A and B are shown apart, each in its own frame.
Chain A
Amino acid sequence: MTSTLHVDSVTKDFGSVRAVEDVSFTVDEGKFVTLLGPSGCGKTTTLRMIAGFETPTEGRVRLGDHDITTEEPYLRPTSMVFQNYALFPHKTVGENVGFGLKMRDVPPDERSDRVAKMLDLIELPGIEDRGIDELSGGQQQRVALARALITEPEVLLLDEPLGALDLKLRKNMQVELKNLQEELGITFVYVTHDQEEALTMSDEIIILNEGEIEQRGTPTEIYESPRTRFVADFIGDTNLLDGTYVENGGGNGNAAAVECGSVDVPIDSLSAAADGQSLSVSIRPEKIALGDGAGNGNENAVTLRGEVEDVIYQGNVAKVHVTIDGTELVLEQQVIDTVNLPTPGSECTISWDQENTNVLTG
């Protein structure tokens, strides 16, 4: 039996505030899915409804064929890793990790064996008798993970588990978590507001905004093809241009274009859009090249002329701000040779492949 997690049209109201609105998604067994969004977007509430700490106002939560919407948290085959770890401060590491087994009346001998194995798995063997306050943040994080995993849950729920760690440790833990998930084959539902974390670890990302799903896709899809203005803006840096849709745009032989002030961005004709409709487009800075490089033998190239406004050197890359008749675009250039960086005030040509223009419909 496969245990696909189904979240069906779930809505949650807190008094008059709607935290989650009609959210539906499924997570296949063994997948790593991230709920990503800014604070207050409903991601944690959604996770808590899967865990059983909140009951949906409407909608159902199912695991396989089993409806768990109103089941008590302790009866669900889900485990949660809390943002602050929620380790029991009055219990030793061993008692913390073995807690789930104790509650399931596993005999003490078997319990200590399984605790030892779990501590091996998180690469902290032999620390059973330590107090929680004797552990570093990273160690506490691992112990919290061990405690959640020891009951062999079908779904592991993680609520910003790396938020309290410093950057370097966080990056290491991202890789470790992902490896652990692949090794164990357990479904992970991960909540974060850190887009980089989401892109690094997830099989799929679900982007939430104001209680609703904006977009769902693989990290590549989310980054390369954002469908809404919110997603394009939230994930990574981008050039967002707001304009109006025109058929046969600009008379340049293009199928259509979005007129964004002084710039016409050519796009493919959209069957769903009417002439004069407001539309936004997004072009990632790293997709734009200085010069007409992108147009080299490429009929899909978009080429514009402008003036270099500013050059911000950031080490491996430089951000070049270019204005085209008052419209500013930022492009990102690999710094191979600092001598070749453009100088502010100079005229320049910029270009990108039209494929990299994302039309944002929402």
Chain B
Amino acid sequence: MSSQDDVATDPVRSQRTPETSTLRERVLEWADSEVFKGAISLGPVLILLTVFYAVPVALLLIYSIFVEDPFASGLTFEHFGRFVDVSAITSLQFSELSYVRLLGRSIGIAVIVTVLSLVISYPITYYLGQHAPERWKIALVMLVIIPFWTSYLIRTYAWIPILSNNGFINSALTTMGLPSLPLLNNYVGSIIGLVYVFVPFTILPLYASMEGLDSSLIEAARDLGASRWEAFREVVFPLTLPGALAGGVFVFIKTAAAYVTPSLLGGTSGRMYAQVIETQFGTAFNWNFGAALAVILVVVVLGTIWIAMRWGIDVKGSRGLGGGGL
């Protein structure tokens, strides 16, 4: 057999020709292959994601394009049409586009909450990552995490007596002879509540970035003539941008779809898009329209993030993010 000779003279090739190897060798070789290893390690996650995420999202998509019951009624885009009311656009009655306006407000609130969370997180994480004594670091990071030990709902309720018209803040203002501020049952209440809930989610990734930032880079910038602000702008900010984006994207996604906080603290002017989706599913029993609204939210949020990431990668001086791949 000539192939036998080949195997004998070419040890490399003998490993690569399964047709000449025994079953056991073939099984072992397959078990050692990248495909098998990949399937073993990714498999559980893939199954989990498929069952709990891909299937529901697919169901939403299906509901959104049927008149009523999926596959039992006709295909339609009327639900999307109800969101983007073409007749209202053509007649320039933009105030009629209530769903679009609500989505716009939700995205706007999400942007404000994200920016505020980052603005609050930067000084905290700069201190934690660069200046906090080593032995205090873990304790201080724990302080950031401790609020998670209590229910999100309870913590949000706790804001009501702080923000209400005769609550803690306004009582203090009135005592000092200052006019009271409308902080509850409007978008201010939503924003305060959301920032409070989501600040830890920007602090943690930003802290990881700050912790990894070589302090001698800041010193070098200062040594070369940079003021504190210039050192932040030229060195700290671009090098921690990956952490800021990671936290920011998370907060943005969660906030754009926020439901509990605006329900409790937002009132009418703080009303957000997810509340309308809930109304369609829960009160109006119009699952098809609710699904369409949800699909639109997902698309808009992903689109916004995609634009933000492109921008983040292109920001001058954020080369460190170049391999972001988004």
Distance of A266 from chain B, by nearest CB (Å): 52
| Cβ-defined contact, A100 with B319, below 8 A | no
Q: With a CB–CB cut-off of 8 A, which chain B residues contact A91?
A: 317, 319
Distance of B271 from chain A, by nearest CB (Å): 41
Contact for B224 among A83, A89, A100, CB less than 8 A: A100
How far, in whole Å, are A74 and B224 apart by their CA atoms in the complex? 6
Q: Check if B298 is an interface residue, CB within 8 A of chain A.
A: no
| Cβ-defined contact, B221 with A79, below 8 A | no
Contact for B214 among A84, A147, A148, CB less than 8 A: A84
The listed residue with most A CB atoms (<10 A of its CB), out of B225, B227, B318, is B225
Chain B window 219-230, contacts with chain A (Cβ cutoff 8 Å), 1 for yes, 0 for no = 111111111001
Distance of B208 from chain A, by nearest CB (Å): 17
Within 8 A of A (CB), among B225-249: 225-227, 230, 234-235, 238-239
Q: Check if B216 is an interface residue, CB within 8 A of chain A.
A: yes
Given the known interface contacts A89-B319, A90-B317, A90-B319, the answer about A74 and B226 at a Cβ–Cβ threshold of 8 Å is: yes
Give the nearest-CB partner of B215 in chain A: A86
Tell me the number of A-to-B contacts counted with CB atoms below 8 Å: 70
Q: Check if A72 is an interface residue, CB within 8 A of chain B.
A: yes
Q: With a CB–CB cut-off of 8 A, which chain B residues contact A104?
A: 225
| Cβ-defined contact, B239 with A89, below 8 A | yes
Distance of A92 from chain B, by nearest CB (Å): 8
| Cβ-defined contact, A90 with B238, below 8 A | yes
Distance of A51 from chain B, by nearest CB (Å): 6
| Cβ-defined contact, A103 with B224, below 8 A | yes
Given the known interface contacts A89-B239, A103-B230, A131-B319, the answer about A151 and B216 at a Cβ–Cβ threshold of 8 Å is: no
| Cβ-defined contact, A53 with B238, below 8 A | no
Q: Check if A99 is an interface residue, CB within 8 A of chain B.
A: yes
| Cβ-defined contact, A99 with B221, below 8 A | yes
Q: Check if B320 is an interface residue, CB within 8 A of chain A.
A: yes
| Cβ-defined contact, A88 with B223, below 8 A | no
How far, in whole Å, are A78 and B216 apart by their CA atoms in the complex? 16
Q: Check if B27 is an interface residue, CB within 8 A of chain A.
A: no
| Cβ-defined contact, A51 with B225, below 8 A | no
Q: Check if A73 is an interface residue, CB within 8 A of chain B.
A: yes
How far, in whole Å, are A80 and B238 apart by their CA atoms in the complex? 22
Contact for A103 among B214, B217, B225, B239, CB less than 8 A: B225
| Cβ-defined contact, B226 with A82, below 8 A | no
| Cβ-defined contact, A80 with B223, below 8 A | yes
Given the known interface contacts A51-B223, A89-B320, A103-B226, the answer about A84 and B216 at a Cβ–Cβ threshold of 8 Å is: yes
How far, in whole Å, are A147 and B225 apart by their CA atoms in the complex? 12
How far, in whole Å, are A182 and B243 apart by their CA atoms in the complex? 45
How many interface residues does B have (CB within 8 Å)? 21
Q: With a CB–CB cut-off of 8 A, which chain A residues contact B222?
A: 53, 72-74
| Cβ-defined contact, A73 with B217, below 8 A | no
How far, in whole Å, are A72 and B216 apart by their CA atoms in the complex? 16
How far, in whole Å, are A89 and B317 apart by their CA atoms in the complex? 9
How far, in whole Å, are A328 and B227 apart by their CA atoms in the complex? 60
Distance of B267 from chain A, by nearest CB (Å): 44
The listed residue with most A CB atoms (<10 A of its CB), out of B216, B230, B318, B320, is B216
Q: With a CB–CB cut-off of 8 A, which chain A residues contact B319?
A: 89-91, 131
How far, in whole Å, are A100 and B225 apart by their CA atoms in the complex? 6
The listed residue with most B CB atoms (<10 A of its CB), out of A82, A90, A151, is A90
Given the known interface contacts A74-B225, A104-B225, the answer about A88 and B235 at a Cβ–Cβ threshold of 8 Å is: yes
Given the known interface contacts A84-B216, A86-B217, A103-B230, the answer about A79 and B320 at a Cβ–Cβ threshold of 8 Å is: no
How far, in whole Å, are A79 and B223 apart by their CA atoms in the complex? 6
How far, in whole Å, are A317 and B37 apart by their CA atoms in the complex? 58
Q: With a CB–CB cut-off of 8 A, which chain B residues contact A147?
A: 220, 224
Contact for A151 among B221, B225, B227, CB less than 8 A: B225
How far, in whole Å, are A82 and B318 apart by their CA atoms in the complex? 23
Q: With a CB–CB cut-off of 8 A, which chain B residues contact A100?
A: 224-225
How far, in whole Å, are A74 and B229 apart by their CA atoms in the complex? 12
Give the nearest-CB partner of A82 in chain B: B216
Given the known interface contacts A86-B216, A89-B239, the answer about A99 and B223 at a Cβ–Cβ threshold of 8 Å is: no
| Cβ-defined contact, A99 with B320, below 8 A | no
Q: With a CB–CB cut-off of 8 A, which chain B residues contact A148?
A: 223-224
Q: With a CB–CB cut-off of 8 A, which chain B residues contact A82?
A: 216, 219-220
How far, in whole Å, are A51 and B239 apart by their CA atoms in the complex? 24
Beyond A103-B225, A151-B225, list 6 extra A-B contacts (CB 8 Å). Answer: A80-B223, A84-B214, A86-B216, A88-B217, A89-B320, A90-B319
Which positions in B face A, CB cutoff 8 Å? Answer: 214, 216-217, 219-227, 230, 234-235, 238-239, 317-320
The 8 closest A-B pairs by CB, nearest first: A103-B225, A100-B224, A86-B220, A86-B216, A90-B319, A73-B222, A74-B225, A90-B320
Q: Can you give 17 contacting A-B residue pairs, CB < 8 Å?
A: A51-B219, A52-B223, A53-B222, A73-B219, A80-B223, A83-B216, A86-B214, A86-B219, A86-B220, A88-B221, A89-B239, A90-B317, A99-B221, A100-B225, A103-B224, A103-B225, A151-B224
